[in-house]
Amino acid sequence: MTKTFLRSTAIAGALLSTAPVSAAVTVPSNTFAFNTSGTPSSSSGSGIGGTRTYTATTNAALTMKVSAWTLTPETSKSYWNIFYPFNTYTVVTPSAVKATTLAAYTVGLGDLGAGESTDNATHTIDNQINDDFLLLEFSEAVTLGSINLNAYALDGTGRDSDALIAWGMKAGPINPTGLDSNGLNALFAGSQESLGNGTSGIRTLNLSGKQGNLWMIGASQLNADGITDGFKLAGLTVTTAVAAVPEPATWAMMFVGFAMVGAAARYRRRSTTAIIA
């Protein structure tokens, strides 16, 4: 019995191997939008560490949980050494991630850190003192297609809206509190700077092939032009992958293989009956 099964499998395998190999048909991905200037589907907490969860406008199964954070820069301070006059020692405080308040306005989501006020532009996602960012946790892996940012001027350097976009995959809840810049970077598979030049509106991102269920949208950490970046997130679009569909020739090849396996099994049963008779 074992030999007959192996032989029938080998026959089917031979037929499959002689059929032409056919690639799958590529199906366009689905695109969905999130309106973060509107009312979320749910929220958890209204102060530091609070989150808001949004549902895609045309796909109730796709959700996005948003939280606000800031990365304090590494600092160093020198002190006089009282035991060795004229000598100093330096204390270095590493960079660290801290939870902030996710502030919601009619023009989008902002980031309200300690010492910042809702009465001025400091409640934006900015890099004036610290590097503010939002974490977006999706219910499935997506590709960020576009972002809608409203830019603000925070100081005399002018208005700018350069952003840092990062993507990665998470296995469970994310809490980056206390991580330094290296630890924060380790959460993501890659990142890309998106230059805004102070403009507001929808910005298309070139992130084809970059997927993740964890995304970061923050003020530029490079800030190459030296102009303070500040903006609110009014919305975004994402795409989800659609499973590839085999071509008709591939289906035919599979059916032929299954038919040969079935025929071999019937032949084996007839042969066994004849021997017994």
* Whole-number pLDDT of residue 91: 58
| Rg over CA atoms, the chain | 29
Burial class of residue 181 in the structure, from the number of CB atoms within 10 Å of its CB (0-12 exposed, 13-18 middle, 19+ buried): middle
Q: Tell me the average pLDDT across 127-144.
A: 95
For residue 110, pLDDT over 50 is answered with yes
For residue 135, pLDDT over 70 is answered with yes
For residue 131, pLDDT over 90 is answered with yes
* Whole-number pLDDT of residue 16: 28
Provide the 3-class DSSP secondary structure of residue 236: strand
132-141, 153-162, 177-186, 239-248: which has the highest mean pLDDT?
132-141
* Whole-number pLDDT of residue 187: 95
The end-to-end CA distance of the chain, in Å, is 17
Q: What is the DSSP string of 17-35?
A: HHSPP-PPBP-PPEEEEEE
Question: Mean of the per-residue pLDDT values for the chain?
Answer: 78
Position 55: which residue type?
T
Q: 157 falls in which pLDDT band (50, 70, 90)?
A: confident
Residue whose tokens read 């007839």: 270
For residue 203, pLDDT over 90 is answered with yes
Per residue in 19-47, pLDDT (tens digit) is 333 333 343 469 999 999 988 988 887 78
Provide the 3-class DSSP secondary structure of residue 158: coil
Domain ranges of the chain: 2-23+246-276, 38-240
Q: Tell me the average pLDDT across 107-133.
A: 85
Task: Pick the range with the lowest mean pLDDT from 148-162, 201-215, 237-251.
Answer: 237-251
Angle at 95 between CA 47 and CA 234, to 5 degrees: 45
Task: Pick the range with the lowest mean pLDDT from 94-103, 187-196, 252-261.
Answer: 252-261
For residue 251, pLDDT over 80 is answered with no
For residue 75, pLDDT over 70 is answered with no
Per residue in 256-277, pLDDT (tens digit) is 455 554 555 554 554 444 444 5
Rounded to whole angstroms, the Cα distance separating 76 from 94 reads 8
